Every structure is written in C-alpha cells, then in structure tokens.
Amino acid sequence: MHAKKFQLDLNKRTHMMGILNVTPDSFSDGGQYTDIEKAIAGAKKMEEEGADIIDIGGESTRPGHTPVSAEEEIQRIIPVIEGLKDSLQIPISVDTFKATVAEQAVKAGASMINDIWGAKKEPEIAEIAARYQVPIILMHNRTDMDYGDFITNVKADLQESISIAKKAGVEDDQIILDPGIGFAKTMEQNQYMVKELQELKAFGYPLLLATSRKRFIGDILDAPAAERDIGTAATTVIGIAKGAQIVRVHDVKTNLEAAKVADAIHRTKL
C-alpha cells in the first residue's frame, strides 16, 4: 500500500498507528496535545517507540462530545501536520469525516485519511482520497443500533462504504476497513466484533482494529481510561490472531511488544 512517498507492507507484520488527538475533550488524552510543541513532541516519541503511522485528530468522537466546525478542526490540526511532515519518517493520517478538512490535511502533508463514518457522512471525502491517491480507512458506523443479524448488518454497512469509495475512484489497494469498535454497538457487540473480526477478511481489504482504552475494556476491568493499556494489548493480540494488520493505539510501546509476540506465534510455519 502506498501513502504518498511511503510504502506500507501490511503483510509482513502488524503495523502500529499512534493516536495524537489535538483536542481539549477526547476521552483519554483530551488536552494533552493542544499545544503545538507538545503535539509534535508526542508524535516524535511515538515514532521512536515504534509507531508506523501517526493518526492526528482535531475533533473528539467520544460519546457526548461537542461538535466542532471544519474551520476549527483545520486550525487545530494543520499547524501540527506542517510541523511534523518533514521531521517524521512515517506517514501521517488525518482522523476526520469532513471532506474539506481531509483535503487541507493532505495538502499540508498527511498521507492517509481515517473516516469514522466510512465516507457516508460526507461522500466527497472519498473523492479527495481518489484525487490525491491516498489510502482511506472506512470505519463501520451507523446512526442507530437497530441490528437484525449483527455481523451480517455490519458487513452490509461496510459494503455500502466500499461502494461509495470505489464509485469515487478509490483503488482497491487504497482501502482499509475498521470494524468500528465503540461506535453504535453495545458492550457485548464490541466484544463479539473483536471475537469475529475474521468475518471481515472476506472483503479482501486490510483490517484496522481500534480498541485502545475504550469503554468496553474499562467495563471489563473496572478501570479508568488511563489504566486500560494492558487490556488494550489483550485485544491487540486477539485482533492479530483474527486478521488485523493495523492497530490504532495510545500506548505504542506496550502494544508493539504484544504485537511482536502475537506476530511471531501467528505467523510461525514449520
């Protein structure tokens, strides 16, 4: 997979996507990286710890978050992207569902688009991915939780996103799927989605798993967000066994260690 000047061989090993939220209200790291210098230092630290991609977001997606305008989102993320593009040796992803934000981010130096609405909120975002020839992550999401057969419905929802992307001109080798853990799902459905992640392999696209510090882990452990990294690592290991090729995490070091062991075991052949 090509992300501008970068090439990602997702078949060789699991890739780490480090989370950098330049927001005041994200559930885990809100306010930690609102200062540009701190954001840049945080991204560099994740790269040093082994991150393969840095995912920069300017709007919280936690339950009950306050929506922000495209203009404010751009003001938050563009200075950070511009400050990082020449100092990082890994690609930058922009976490947004807004087409205008995605375009400005790609122009500023981002090499991937991560859309929590799977190109359904603003289908034009797929056109941006196609025009600039950058990968797009299509996450499962919906406005209701009215499922019939859960996995069947999730797959149908993702197929709609894939169709939007392909109609816009996105090539197959530039599409990544995300099952949308923590979005429009109960605790049990989140757990079941991780357990049955291999069901999405039939699409033929790389899978990204984003469980880091999420509420269902906190419910299992009865722990606050900052104390969920070992629990997250457990989902990383299970996800790799089920077919995940990218994991999106806050704690790169812990999850990288878990992924290395999981990769070694999962890929062993005699």
Backbone angles phi, psi at 15, to 5 degrees: -100, 145
* Residue 13: φ, ψ to 5°: -165, 165
Q: How far is CA 246 from CA 31, 98, 127, 219, in A?
A: 26, 23, 23, 24
Residue from 129, 131, 126, 98 nearest 112 by CA: 129
The Cα–Cα gap between 69 and 52 comes to 29
DSSP strand E in the chain: where? Answer: 2-3, 6-7, 15-21, 53-57, 92-95, 112-115, 136-139, 175-178, 208-209, 246-249
DSSP annotation of 112 reads: E
Could you give the 3-state DSSP secondary structure of residue 205? coil
Token reading at 157:
């929802």
Tell me the two tokens of residue 18.
């480090």
241-to-204, 234, 259, 264 alpha-carbon distances in Å: 16, 11, 10, 11
For residue 39, give the nearest of 72, 82, 4 by alpha carbon: 82
Q: Which residues are catalytic?
A: 214, 248
